[in-house]
Structure 1
Amino acid sequence: MKLVFATNNFNKIKEVQALIPKTIQLLSLRDIGCEEDIPETSNTIEGNAQQKANYIKEKYGYDCFADDTGLEVEALQGAPGVYSARYAGEAKDADANMNKLLLELDNHKNRNAQFKTVIALELNNTSHMFTGICEGEITKNKRGNKGFGYDPIFLPKDYEKTFAELPLSIKNKISHRGKAIAQLISYLTT
């Protein structure tokens, strides 16, 4: 089976490639010649994932899946949420996003947060959605040099290391994306 993963984010592709069974050939947007930015104009994580999957199916004809992820911080009423990648501006600068979030949480005792990933699958002219959530909290400082995005400031529940300090093998088992991908794989292989 060939499936397009509707992303050009190398870090996401690397994480997902480690989880997908060898019976599924994963293609990136680059592999199918998609160079344009896929619109993400929905005000929900679910809507953005579906929008990206629909775009690839309609424009390129491939069975595909797309994800969207948001970091939802309790003290900020769920922000940055759907705007996580652009929290500090359109440049999608991870350091700027983390710095802004740390500054906004500076005087908050409640640092509870969760990562939420939604995967939209377009397969054989049917649509499916899979959701993964990882609860945790926001640290006061950046820690670790692995991962990407908010990983250096996200401490998953029941762990003493941030996502950026954990090996990829552990992160993939407990992360929001890992949980959503596990549901996707279960669906594809049963």
Structure 2
Amino acid sequence: MKIVLATRNRHKVDEIRQILKIYLDGDLYSQIEILDLDNFPAVPEIEEDGKTFVENALKKAKTVYEFTGLCSIADDSGIEVDFLNGEPGIYSARYAGENATDEGNNRKLLKLLEGVPIEKRTATFRCALAYVDGNIEKVFEGATKGKVIFEPRGMGGFGYDPLFVPDGYELTYAEMPKDLKNRISHRSKALQKFAEFLRTYLESKNKF
């Protein structure tokens, strides 16, 4: 079973593959082949103009399915900071501009939170993962609460990972070993639900 991941972000591709290995046993994982948009260079850039993570994820998955004819999954995710009334939210990847880097986005977020005490720096990382295969459209969501710290820490991860400490931990996402982050993150929670769906789908398919 081929599944196309609707992204060219290598960090995201690698992370999703690693997380699915956690939640699908070896036999089931071996039945899927995860491709990405590098395998389909003709697929155009998809404008993320939805008003929610769910809308953006569905648009990306539907578009990729239409171009490839293969089962597609798309993730849209970001961080919502309570003090900033939910910003950057769906604009997380381009918070500092259309061609923003992770570092630029992090700098802007820290600038807007200057002088804000840690107890008021609460935030939620959210992920919506859409699956489309022509017959089925489903969305799986995950969220992890935590706080935005005062300066980046850690060399791992990507995006806002160096600034986010999930509740119950002292390490940022970027400081955590990959296997820990991949079990507690917002994306992991959405992918766990997707893996349960995929397991049921593959097991039912194997009966025939």
State the alpha-carbon separation in 2 of the partners of residues 68 and 61 from structure 1. 21
Q: Deviations over 1:142-179 (max 9, x none)?
A: 00000000000000111110000001100000000111
Shift of 1:19: 2.2
Structure 1: segments with no counterpart, 5+ residues: none
2: CA distance between counterparts of 1:79 and 1:101? Answer: 9
SS in 2 for 1:15: helix
Describe how 1:104-115 pairs up with structure 2 within 5 A.
104-109=112-117, 110-115=120-125
1:83 to 61, 68, 91: 91
Deviations for 1:38-94, whole angstroms, at most 9, x for unmatched residues?
A: 221112111100110110111221111101001000001100000000101111311
Measure how far apart 1:18 and its partner are: 1.0
- Greater Rg over alpha carbons, structure: 2
Task: Give the whole-Å Cα distance in 2 for the aligned partners of 1:3 and 1:142.
Answer: 34
After the TM superposition, which of the residue ranges 41-50 and 25-34 deviates more from structure 2?
A: 25-34
CA displacement at 1:30 relative to structure 2: 1.2
Higher normalized helix content (fraction of residues):
2
Matched, 1:52 2:53: no
2:178 equivalent to 1:168: yes
Cα offset, 1:33, TM superposition: 3.3
C-alpha contact 2:156 2:173 (8 A) present in aligned 1: yes
Give the TM-score normalised by the residue count of structure 2. Answer: 0.88
Amino acid at match of 2:83: A
**Cα deviation, residue 124, structure 1:** 4.7
Residue number among 4, 20, 36 corresponding to 1:28 in the alignment: 36
SS at match of 1:64: strand
How far apart, CA to CA, are the structure 2 residues paired with 1:133 and 1:115? 6
Letter of the aligned partner of 2:136 in structure 1? T
- 2:14 match: 14
Is the contact made by 2:43 and 2:64 (CA closer than 8 Å) also made in structure 1?
no
SS of the residue corresponding to residue 19 of structure 1 reads: helix
* CA distance in 2 between partners of 1:90 and 1:124 (Å): 31
Note the alpha carbon deviations across 1:77-128, whole angstroms, 9 max, x for none.
Answer: 1000000001011113111110110111112220000100000100352100
1:146 aligns with 2:164: no
Pick from 111, 117, 121 the counterpart of residue 127 of structure 2: 117
Moved over 4 A (4+): none
SS at match of 1:101: helix
Kept in 1: contact 2:19–2:183 (CA 8 A): no
